[in-house]
Chains A and B, each alone.
Chain A
Amino acid sequence: MADASRDVTVPRRVWADEDVHRRELVRIFKTCWQFVAHESEIPEPGDYVTRRIGRDSVIVTRDETGQVRVLLNTCRHRGVPLCRADRGNTSHFRCSYHGWTYANTGELRGVTFQRDVYGKGGIDKSQLGLFQPAQVDSIYGLVFATWDPEAPSLADYLGPMRWYLHTVFGKFDHGLEVVGPPVRTMVRANWKAEGENLSGDGYHTFVTHQSAVELGLFATQHDLAEMAEVTGTRFTGRTVHCGNGHTMRIQRMPLQVKAPAYFGYPKEMWDEFDRNLSEAQREAQSCLSVGHGSVFPNMSFLENFKTNVDKKGDHARYIRITLRYPMGPAMTEQLWFLLQPRHADADWLRLSRLAYLRTNGPAGMFEVDDTENFVGITEAAAGTVAADLPVVLEGGLHHPPTPEEAGWPGDVADGDRTEKTIRAFHGRWQELMA
């Protein structure tokens, strides 16, 4: 695949303009597949969580037959929301206004005082089930939905991204589960500011996160020497555009190892990774420093190896999902999910949680520094002169394509100090907004 987005230009108004925002809600959030929940959040029939697709509130629930349903959270009668909590369990949703009752399949079951209100024949309940997305599907427990009946299947939409999702989410014998409810934060930034960063910005790390580096949260030469006999000094990386704006960045620690080494996970788990990953995928996971990417438009995942997170020598990996809801041109609600492997060792789970919370958790050091950039980009773009200025997106144009023998699907380049994935993100955005 060639770098289709090499000439993309972005005027800064896209970060602060009210009209652009309203258009996005229709062109992007009403058409694209979007992540809504992880199946582990609703393990039992009747379990539900409330989420958003764009600005619309939806209920994600498991019906009595075990099927995952996504239901627009508004009564078909006159519009009152059915669920007011973030999560719960119920087989039926009863509206608080006039009492219409829906099964958790979305079907309208009961209309109060039906004869009085609608006459002898009643009202045609079969036409008045809760409104539902045109398509709902899941992969590795990640549930996605789209309002667009014409949208390609989820598998086709993700394309080569599935291969990378497998390296992160598909390598565990017993799968992953979300720990607790997601943390919800409201950030005064446009959703694309963090979105483009998480698409694969390996350029900002050593500047924005300089204090994290100096405080030992990034593997130091000392840490590296403890992990392998032969070490280098330069972290290497690759960036990928999987098509449709889905991107990935993988950075590797400079370690020479004889067999794939999944530092940050308990040794007992390494065998299952070997079994569940292909040779090229093992290569993508071995000596991983950080792997992160985005499913366009608003879901990102991060698998990160962090060092010295509690005491010296306490290293662990963790997996995080973040989801961004556009609440206004300069306002984003972000959801933060920690995912952990089932049946893992309790001490390691604790360490993995600390590695997450203290670095890339909602209150972690990395986020404090990242957020300042995202809020700043948004504030500056509100200026009349600034709004018309482009941003410079040429980073990494000269990076060589990764040889095909590596076996990594998509448009892959060697080098992660780049704007490759950011061009891909905006390129896809522009296609949809045109």
Chain B
Amino acid sequence: MTTATQRPTPAPPQVQAEAALFLAVEAELIDDRRYAEWLDVVTDDFTYTVPVPVTPDNPFAPHHDPEALLLDESKDSIRHLWFRRLEADMHEFAWGENPPPQLRHFVTNVRAYLTGDPDELAVRSNVLVVGRRQSDQPKYLSAERFDTLRRGAAGLLLARRHAVLDQTVIDFPQPRVLL
């Protein structure tokens, strides 16, 4: 938790805008299911984690357990175990994702902060993900994301995403989702 004395330094407005645009386009790639392009905007050492939500009795404890994970993925695991089976030759028996669940990301409250590393930004954002399974009414997942964006020769890349859910009991069609 950040205290007043250690408040991080927001990046300058131009960098804020750049980070927000990056996240909007990154979400577009997921929602459009352009998975190969999405892999191009994440670093090779990318990790994706979601901690287990919980309702604590201690009013000062977070609504999740930072030690326990619901999702723990890497670029490789997402490429091989998430996207590969959605390719034309395998999609037929990716039963739970056929027809594919439709996702829509609403990304807001983007805040880019400077870090000790001039090439890295710590970017927090809120996300609402709407998911539709077949003809069912849509379901919603809301979360805060703690991302690391890294600047390379090709511009900004997503190096890390840690997303904290706003729901203790998850009723999304399936919780295997890129928030």
A residues whose Cβ falls under 8 Å from a Cβ of B: 83-90, 179-186, 207-208, 210-211, 214-215, 217, 309-311, 333, 338, 353-354, 357-358, 361-365, 367-373
Q: How many contacts between A and B, using CB within 8 angstroms?
A: 113
Contact A358–B81 (Cβ < 8 Å): yes
> Do B95 and A180 have beta carbons less than 8 Å apart?
no
Of chain B, the residue at the smallest CB distance from A362 is B175
The answer to whether B69 and A357 touch across the interface, beta carbons within 8 angstroms, is: yes
Contacts of A179 in B (CB 8 A): 67-68
Size bin of chain B's contact surface: 35 or more
Closest Cβ neighbor of A308 among chain B residues: B80
Bitwise, B162-179 to A at CB < 8 A (1) or not (0) is: 000000111100111100
Give the CA-CA distance A256 to B171 in the complex, in Å: 44
Stretch from B4-12, B30-38, B54-62, B148-156 that touches the partner: B54-62
Kindly list chain B residues whose C-beta atoms are within 8 Å of the C-beta of A182. Answer: 52
A419 to chain B, nearest CB (A): 20
How far is it, in angstroms, between the C-alpha of A310 and the C-alpha of B90 when the chains are bound?
Answer: 20
> Given contacts A364-B176, A368-B97, are A86 and B54 in contact (CB under 8 A)?
yes
Give the complex CA separation of A358 and B69 in angstroms: 11
**CA–CA, A339 to B95, complex, Å?**
28
Residues of A within 8 A of B170 (CB): 183-186, 362
The chain A residue sitting closest to B51, CB to CB, is: A180
Q: Is the CB of B176 within 8 A of A365?
A: yes
* Complex Cα–Cα for A210 and B95 (A): 9
Residues of B within 8 A of A (CB): 50, 52-58, 65, 67-74, 76-77, 80-82, 84-85, 90, 93-97, 168-171, 174-177
Given contacts A186-B169, A311-B76, contact A369 B56 (CB under 8 A): no
How many angstroms from the CA of A182 to the CA of B53 in the assembled complex? 9
Contacts of A354 in B (CB 8 A): 72, 77
| Residues B96 and A371 in contact, CB atoms below 8 Å apart | yes
Chain B residues with Cβ under 8 A from A338's Cβ? 68
Complex Cα–Cα for A361 and B174 (A): 11
Contact of B174 with A363 in the complex, beta carbons under 8 Å: yes
Cross-interface CB contact of B58 among A83, A88, A217, A369, cutoff 8 Å = A88
Give Cα distance in the complex from A19 to B44, angstroms: 54
Instruction: Give 16 A-B contacts (CB < 8 Å), ordered by A residue.
Output: A83-B57, A88-B56, A179-B67, A207-B93, A214-B85, A214-B90, A215-B80, A215-B81, A358-B72, A358-B73, A363-B177, A365-B85, A367-B174, A367-B176, A368-B174, A369-B96
CB distance from A307 to the nearest CB of B (A): 12
Q: How far is the CA of A337 from the CA of B69 in the complex (A)?
A: 11
Determine the distance from Cα of A207 to Cα of B92 in the docked complex, in whole angstroms.
11
Q: Is the CB of B96 within 8 A of A372?
A: yes
Q: Tell me the minimal C-beta distance from B95 to chain A in angstroms.
A: 5
CB distance from A382 to the nearest CB of B (A): 14
B176 near A368: Cβ-Cβ < 8 Å:
yes
| B90 near A211: Cβ-Cβ < 8 Å | yes
B56 in contact with A87 (CB, 8 Å): yes
Question: Does A183 lie within 8 Å of B52, measured CB to CB?
Answer: yes
**CB pair B175 A211 closer than 8 Å:** no
Bound: A182/B56 CA distance, A = 13
A89 adjacent to B57 (CB under 8 Å):
yes
Q: Which of B68, B80, B84, B176 contacts A363 (CB 8 A)?
A: B176
Q: Which residues of A contact B169 (CB under 8 A)?
A: 184-186, 333
CB <8 Å contact, B97 and A353 = no
**Extra inter-chain contacts (16) besides given A85-B56, A180-B68, CB under 8 Å:** A86-B56, A88-B56, A88-B58, A181-B54, A183-B53, A184-B53, A184-B168, A207-B93, A311-B76, A354-B77, A358-B72, A362-B70, A365-B176, A368-B96, A369-B95, A372-B95
- Give A179 to B85 CA distance when docked, in angstroms: 29
- The 3 A-B residue pairs whose C-beta atoms are closest, nearest first, are A180-B68, A88-B57, A368-B96
